[in-house]
Structure 1
């Protein structure tokens, strides 16, 4: 059995998977997504906040934004790609479920109810409360523990458009050429306002500080370039580009003691766990006892509402256990952008080949690294 992508005009290059032949090649992406979009991955608050409203305005510039206290409010009147990317209560997971949180009696299908932020088995958990939907197929043939055979897009026309827009602007400092045509095509397909200039004009870069992509070399960029990056972010999310983009933009210099936030847990979402109310569920959804870090002497299962980094409501995935490597914040060293150039290369290119006069070499070392062998990078 296989699913072909050759009939989709936008797909320029794709990989075929199948469970039919002796040369079987398959994956388990769908299997994990049907377990509530877990796989020990999840979107951060900054990612979700970067999605525009359907009128093209940032959430802080639109009167239509209803907040993030419930899934209904988060998704109301947003960029259509958000609903295609992130799971919300009521979304179909599988037409033949064996791992879904709850099953509606009327049709026997499995639907998403709540993120598995308390799941002990990490491969089935979601750390932030925003679960992956992109790549989900609801076929019971690919239910949890079964092989997945959906085709994988490798290169889409949307990526080509985004590559062109970014490169043209970086080279020329304006949106000439085909930029207008391509950007409007992306917006139109997403079902939102094609007036990207309105987005640019209403972007307050000082309110985009949580988005690492708003920086290059520790400084925030202009609103046009940022919105090109924003468009790329929401279009290509979960397609394996994010870290490569952040490195290419040198967008991680300012990541110093940063505390990642997940969804708004404490305003109302916590009730999905303490008082679950899933109508028509075949079996009751278990209640969860919340044990906040620093509030109880028992082993915590959730970051504290009173945590100074929670703003009184946001889940902090790294702040429920002091042993977590990210408990005191995430940090980035410039040495992690690129690998060091071997000391041998400097010896071969000094004014006197083989000497230790590395300053006379015709090549230079990558940022954060020394020319000397056996030395640690800066900041380590």
Structure 2
């Protein structure tokens, strides 16, 4: 994008030693003692927090049922099929506690600085990022040790026991509540500040975490979900009422597709993103997705409604799976063709737009027969390892989905008015008919299923699916199912690949659909609702860290 900012200061806190009044500090580095003197220095320190937002190359969805791939991480595939084991160390644990320490350090220096309200904004950013990293820990491990001060090896808090999941969520929500009044509104950012944390970002994270905990308590037990569902509703409604955000519609009917690439950067839908810019911070995500590092599954494909708003199991508009490769994409929610590569459709590559046919050999080889279109940029730079489009980790579309779901889960129903101001805004952008209570009743549908369907298709491949299945407590039913793909036997896929030997080169089920991973190889046990605490952390804790059940 054109206007980017981030100053990486790395490890700038160099401790100096004084000896008999001599200044022996290095002349080319800033000492810790001389650094924390002005608001601008606190801003520089806060800049470093942004590096740890979720960036492109986000393959998180590989741990779920809607994506498949093994080119990136065998660990994510092991998580998906339930074969993963407790490990000595965890990147999630180490990275987030590293950053929690960094935020605690800024907060400590702020309290010592005497600068008061002049540094409120940077204190607010530190509180946001501390909450963000505790959120990453909570959704992985449940309850974790809550550390709110800078520790050294002699600190007794090094051996802090785990708090509960509810206490962890309460802690991070309190941080966010403290952060909001210190942070600017989106409208208060000037052009050079786009991408910094705002009140909207804090409210969006609060809504996300509160919905997670509320639905976790509702479906797993252990407490009253109502306060958290109310907190999610309140945070989402505040964000909506601010008027600072709106769905991206800059590309008309194709806006959903373009939201996730360069055209959608800095759009009104973006609340907080990991930002890239030419010549300084770029990525290669488009090319990796060309080569099917992450691919959709039949589970996701079948979730897209027909254009009459009905599921494909009941809509007369659904054309089935037989014959042509394109037939299952006909008369479907337009977001399907903006998420999947429709066989024969044009994809921007090194030589411009070229028709692409997902296959089973060469550069278009895919284990399910599907290919991912979402996140494929249409610039020459992206085709040459220099992608500049941002990864939008927090966006307004998610907030609308949180609001709709939280209202339904709290009340057991949702009004047409609330549907109109949430889910139906997303449907209207995509060109889909509205969801109403009368439509649900007339067609014997289930409102909760439709709300969850909308969330899954709208947020596909943005990293939410496994967390959703775990909080809904449906993972034990969904995750053990086979990973399947397109119908191969008797279709154009088989005609275009006549040399493939079934059950040797390619595996299919009794109905001729590709099987990427059979059900017999997939498991989801009760213990998989939480990830294991790293074994080395347990060993180092002097008995204060207790492993999650079943691990």
Match of 1:334 in 2: 526
What is the CA distance between 1:187 and its match in structure 2? 1.4
SS for the counterpart of 1:328 is helix
**Residue 408 of structure 2 is aligned to residue 169 of structure 1:** yes
- After superposition, the Cα gap between the structure-2 partners of 1:198 and 1:182, relative to the gap in structure 1 and judged at 3 Å, is same
- After superposition, the Cα gap between the structure-2 partners of 1:332 and 1:157, relative to the gap in structure 1 and judged at 3 Å, is same
- After superposition, the Cα gap between the structure-2 partners of 1:203 and 1:42, relative to the gap in structure 1 and judged at 3 Å, is farther
Tell me the distance in 2 between the aligned counterparts of 1:78 and 1:301: 31
**Map of 1:41-56 to 2, 5 A cutoff?**
41-56=294-309
Contact 1:28 1:146 (8 Å CA) reproduced: yes
Structure 2 residue corresponding to 1:314, chosen from 495, 501, 513 = 513
SS for the counterpart of 2:347 is strand
Structure 2 residue corresponding to 1:292, chosen from 494, 498, 502 = 502
Tell me the distance in 1 between the aligned counterparts of 2:347 and 2:309: 29
Structure 2 residue corresponding to 1:93, chosen from 347, 352, 375 = 347
Tell me the distance in 2 between the aligned counterparts of 1:8 and 1:257: 39
Tell me the distance in 2 between the aligned counterparts of 1:316 and 1:17: 37
Match of 2:337 in 1: 83
What is the CA distance between 1:267 and its match in structure 2? 2.4
- After superposition, the Cα gap between the structure-2 partners of 1:256 and 1:126, relative to the gap in structure 1 and judged at 3 Å, is closer
Contact 1:34 1:138 (8 Å CA) reproduced: no
Tell me the distance in 1 between the aligned counterparts of 2:438 and 2:327: 23
What is the CA distance between 1:26 and its match in structure 2? 1.9
Flag structure 1 segments of 5+ consecutive residues without an equivalent: 98-107, 206-222, 275-287, 294-299, 305-309, 319-325, 350-363, 370-376
Match of 1:32 in 2: 288
Tell me the distance in 2 between the aligned counterparts of 1:291 and 1:230: 35
Tell me the distance in 1 between the aligned counterparts of 2:478 and 2:314: 26
SS for the counterpart of 2:368 is coil
What is the CA distance between 1:365 and its match in structure 2? 8.0
**Map of 1:1-380 to 2, 5 A cutoff?**
3=262, 5-20=264-279, 24-35=280-291, 38-39=292-293, 41-69=294-322, 70-94=324-348, 96-97=350-351, 109-113=353-357, 115-119=358-362, 125-143=365-383, 146-176=385-415, 178-197=418-437, 200-201=440-441, 223-255=446-478, 258-271=481-494, 273-274=496-497, 289-293=499-503, 300-304=504-508, 310-318=509-517, 328-339=520-531, 368-369=549-550, 377=551
What is the CA distance between 1:95 and its match in structure 2? 5.1
What is the CA distance between 1:340 and its match in structure 2? 5.6
What is the CA distance between 1:30 and its match in structure 2? 0.9
Tell me the distance in 1 between the aligned counterparts of 2:265 and 2:387: 18
Q: Cα deviations across residues 18-73 of structure 1 (Å, max 9, x unaligned)?
A: 232xxx222211112344xx11x221112111100111111121111111223432
Tell me the distance in 2 between the aligned counterparts of 1:259 and 1:129: 15
Contact 2:488 2:514 (8 Å CA) reproduced: yes
Tell me the distance in 2 between the aligned counterparts of 1:348 and 1:14: 37
Tell me the distance in 1 between the aligned counterparts of 2:414 and 2:539: 43
What is the CA distance between 1:193 and its match in structure 2? 0.6
Tell me the distance in 2 between the aligned counterparts of 1:64 and 1:365: 51
Q: Number of residues paired by the alignment?
A: 286
Tell me the distance in 2 between the aligned counterparts of 1:48 and 1:193: 19
Tell me the distance in 2 between the aligned counterparts of 1:152 and 1:302: 34
Q: TM-score, normalised by structure 1?
A: 0.67
Q: Cα deviations across residues 188-235 of structure 1 (Å, max 9, x unaligned)?
A: 111011134365336667xxxxxxxxxxxxxxxxx2211111000000
Tell me the distance in 2 between the aligned counterparts of 1:234 and 1:337: 22
What is the CA distance between 1:149 and its match in structure 2? 1.5
Backbone CA RMSD of aligned residues: 3.1
Q: Cα deviations across residues 61-90 of structure 1 (Å, max 9, x unaligned)?
A: 111111122343212111111110000122
Tell me the distance in 2 between the aligned counterparts of 1:63 and 1:56: 11
What is the CA distance between 1:137 and its match in structure 2? 1.4
SS for the counterpart of 2:318 is coil
Q: TM-score, normalised by structure 2?
A: 0.47
- After superposition, the Cα gap between the structure-2 partners of 1:110 and 1:60, relative to the gap in structure 1 and judged at 3 Å, is same
What is the CA distance between 1:262 and its match in structure 2? 0.7
SS for the counterpart of 1:13 is strand
Tell me the distance in 1 between the aligned counterparts of 2:442 and 2:372: 29
SS for the counterpart of 1:263 is strand
Tell me the distance in 2 between the aligned counterparts of 1:85 and 1:239: 11
Tell me the distance in 1 between the aligned counterparts of 2:398 and 2:516: 31
Structure 1, 335-344 or 232-241: larger mean CA deviation: 335-344
Contact 1:34 1:93 (8 Å CA) reproduced: no
What is the CA distance between 1:109 and its match in structure 2? 3.6
